Structure 1
């Protein structure tokens, strides 16, 4: 096991495109760190630089206590699991697991011991004689994990390993990866564009946009205190609602106003310097609720759609120029096209600079 440190790591292509800009963070020994962001944000490029598959344009990359900027991939003591499984189709599971160890000159006893342990850990013992074509996607991904596992590397790198699986299998294999990490305690760096994977797997998460790190923190800290509007909108499903307008104080509390449209925020804690200035107010869908009868601070919205998903309902709404989503427990609601009075929880609001998108702290 080993910690991984990046200090000002950059990737600039020959055409001048900056794929990763000054990435600085540390993955602790034994930590599962997730790199997440939309397609093209630089997360896979960053992982490939750690693996040695992409040349580093600037900065320092350290694995353990060794700077590895110019070290060949095979000498970095890492193992990588790819999106495409990359199994040899003509080899059985046992042969796929053993292949890398044979290339490295390990003796037969060591190879047999390692592949037996990996097969038992990943539930592959009864499949050792199967070819990849006779296996499901989830089983093939477990073989790919096993091939990395038998290497006993200092660091595991996983590049969107679940993106080829259906929803049910993704959940199953995601659980297996989390259990595997808890059992092994090995340093893992996991790349995904799926924020649900990031939130459920990562001990900490690195959020990237356009090659720039936006925030690094634990899943719940990112959810509860996003550093900017991008993080606020990217993490959370459904995404955070954003009310844009001007903050105003009134006798009955604080409101955000956009022309004739107003949404009361009740006794939300604000900095007086924000008053009478353009602002973006974030409201998670679960903190936007139908108003109780006689509630003091309410505003109206038209129901555009109702999505029952079993244990909860997503309600799509429009209020003024704002498209909103509300998350509620199953309940009777007005029909689509009708209006509904809403209330926000004033102690659960997020305030952002309307121009820069950066979080404003009360």
Structure 2
């Protein structure tokens, strides 16, 4: 396997559209790194640049230490798995798995060995004689993975490989891919718009927005310490609550939200004294709005209750501010009821209203 280095990689189309604006990060040897972001953020374009399917406007791309900007896709020693399985319908599973090796004129015995190894790894032993039309969606996806696996490339590139599957299959295939990565120790660059896939699969995650890399870190570090408002609200379901207002320090920190309303902040909150009187956006995740009587709490009126089984998403309004709290299913309030909420200590975030940059220590 090999590591991948991107240095100020940039893609500008002839019409002037900047699809990728100076992406810089590394994929370590044997790492599974996930590119995540909304549609149109440039993540698939970036993956295609690594694959050699998109020309690089500027910057440097190295695979295994070798500069590959002008190297043809077939000579980069990478294998790509697409959203569309792209299997040959007239070929059996075994023939699909071994086709690329056959085109390289590899000895038949070596092809058979690699196909058998891949089939055993992906639990396809019993369907090698079937054609794609006779397979389930999950089996077809495993064949597409196996076709990349038999090539034994330096780097695996996966472009939203699970998006065509239903929720149950996506969950099971996430486990398959994570297990496969641990077994192979392979270098993988994985693209998805699904934050659940990103958080559960990635050893590290690259969050992208409008062609720019927003933050690169481990899943929990991104969730707990977002660098800006976009990262904070993109990761997490339900999304982080955002409340605009002015920070005041009257009998403890408060956020004045207008019309005489204010949200009291926890007593031990760490806020720079220089932010007093400044307009900010306060961010708090739904699970960090706690129910129960508290001196630094506030009353909120329940508007909508969404039972989720393991927890309950409660939409409330506090002094004109809409919030979502994730509560235990044991405390199921009725719409119209008033609940007492408080913000969990050390679990709030502050963002600059204009730039979105985090103002709280990371």
Which TM-score bucket, shorter chain as reference?
over 0.9
Partners of 2:189 and 2:348 in 1: how far apart?
A: 32
1:132 Cα deviation from its structure 2 partner: 0.5
Partners of 1:200 and 1:266 in 2: how far apart?
A: 31
Partners of 1:332 and 1:217 in 2: how far apart?
A: 35
1:214 Cα deviation from its structure 2 partner: 0.3
Q: Deviations over 1:240-299 (max 9, x none)?
A: 111210010112x1110112221100221110111111011111111101122xx20122
> Which position in structure 2 is the counterpart of 1:41?
41
1:140 Cα deviation from its structure 2 partner: 0.2
1:39 Cα deviation from its structure 2 partner: 0.3
> Which position in structure 2 is the counterpart of 1:275?
276
Given the alignment of the two structures, is residue 228 of structure 1 paired with residue 241 of structure 2, yes or no?
no
Partners of 1:143 and 1:84 in 2: how far apart?
A: 12
Q: Note if contact 2:41-2:211 (Cα within 8 Å) is conserved in structure 1.
A: yes
Partners of 2:321 and 2:295 in 1: how far apart?
A: 21
1:332 Cα deviation from its structure 2 partner: 3.1
> Which position in structure 1 is the counterpart of 2:177?
177
> Which position in structure 2 is the counterpart of 1:336?
335
Counting only pairs closer than 5 Å after superposition, residues 248-263 of structure 1 correspond to structure 2 as 248-251=248-251, 253-259=252-258, 260-263=260-263
1:336 Cα deviation from its structure 2 partner: 0.9
Q: Secondary structure at the match of 1:347?
A: coil
Given the alignment of the two structures, is residue 134 of structure 1 paired with residue 128 of structure 2, yes or no?
no
Aligned residues, how many?
A: 359
Q: Deviations over 1:113-155 (max 9, x none)?
A: 0000000000000000111111111110000000000000000
Partners of 1:325 and 1:238 in 2: how far apart?
A: 8
> Which position in structure 1 is the counterpart of 2:143?
143
Partners of 1:42 and 1:332 in 2: how far apart?
A: 43
Q: Note if contact 2:312-2:332 (Cα within 8 Å) is conserved in structure 1.
A: no
1:347 Cα deviation from its structure 2 partner: 1.3
Partners of 1:61 and 1:334 in 2: how far apart?
A: 55
Counting only pairs closer than 5 Å after superposition, residues 8-47 of structure 1 correspond to structure 2 as 8-47=8-47
Q: Secondary structure at the match of 2:47?
A: helix
Q: Note if contact 2:305-2:333 (Cα within 8 Å) is conserved in structure 1.
A: no
Q: Secondary structure at the match of 1:168?
A: helix
Partners of 1:86 and 1:302 in 2: how far apart?
A: 52
Partners of 1:205 and 1:41 in 2: how far apart?
A: 15
Given the alignment of the two structures, is residue 189 of structure 1 paired with residue 189 of structure 2, yes or no?
yes
Q: Secondary structure at the match of 2:346?
A: helix
Given the alignment of the two structures, is residue 217 of structure 1 paired with residue 191 of structure 2, yes or no?
no
1:236 Cα deviation from its structure 2 partner: 0.9
1:331 Cα deviation from its structure 2 partner: 1.7
> Which position in structure 2 is the counterpart of 1:53?
53
Q: TM-score, normalised by structure 1?
A: 0.97
- Structure 2 unaligned residues grouped into runs of 5+: none
> Which position in structure 2 is the counterpart of 1:284?
285
Q: Secondary structure at the match of 1:289?
A: strand
Given the alignment of the two structures, is residue 93 of structure 1 paired with residue 121 of structure 2, yes or no?
no
Q: Deviations over 1:7-49 (max 9, x none)?
A: 0100000000000000000100000000000000000000000
1:320 Cα deviation from its structure 2 partner: 3.3
Partners of 1:351 and 1:249 in 2: how far apart?
A: 15
Q: Deviations over 1:211-254 (max 9, x none)?
A: 00000000000001000000000011111111210010112x11
| C-alpha RMSD of the superposition | 0.9
- Structure 1 unaligned residues grouped into runs of 5+: none
